[in-house]
Amino acid sequence: MYYRHLDSPVGRLLLAGENDALKLISFPKDRYARSAEPDWQRDDGPFRETVRQLEAYFAGELTDFDLPLSPSGTPFQLSVWQALRTIPYGETWSYGQLAKAIGRPTASRAVGAANGANPLPIVVPCHRVIGSTGKLTGFGGGLPIKAALLALEQKDNEEPQQAFAFLDQT
């Protein structure tokens, strides 16, 4: 497995992957934050396109990622993560909507657990899932980062970096 770090507006992200596919993005303050394993190799090369697309996203210039991904999970988790990729940029869905999208309308809690286990946040946009009341709910990177990502994606956002300004103060 290869890895590198990326300094971003939401903190220093750990990117990891193998065979030219991204497997992991980890936030530094995530309750499940990952560190590079001893047998991983530091190499920026495999992540050039990932870095380019993430930087374009944070600049407000990219709305849809096109990267080879290889997340590890159960078939149920993989179906949830695939459905997350269909949530349009700038929109949010509830856990119930996501459960319906995968054909499991009564599985909101299981969908929430799968959403929380997403190993590729931002690229697989789990931040676009909110509670049925419209409130922001759990996010591995923390609710301030979730709010910043959602603010970045607002259609009327003419200054994308403003979405992250308040993170410097937290």
Strand 2-8 and strand 41-42: the pairing is parallel
Catalytic residue among 126, 129, 148, 149: 126
Q: How many CB atoms lie under 10 A from the CB of residue 19?
A: 10
Looking at residue 83, its amino acid is: A
The DSSP bridge partners found for residue 165 are none
| Percentage helix, strand, coil for the chain under 3-state DSSP, each rounded to 5 | 35, 15, 45
CA distances from 10 to 4, 33, 117, 144 (A): 16, 14, 19, 9
Catalytic residue check, 126: yes
Contacts of 52 by beta carbon, 8 Å cutoff, 6+ apart:
none
- Active site positions, annotated: 126
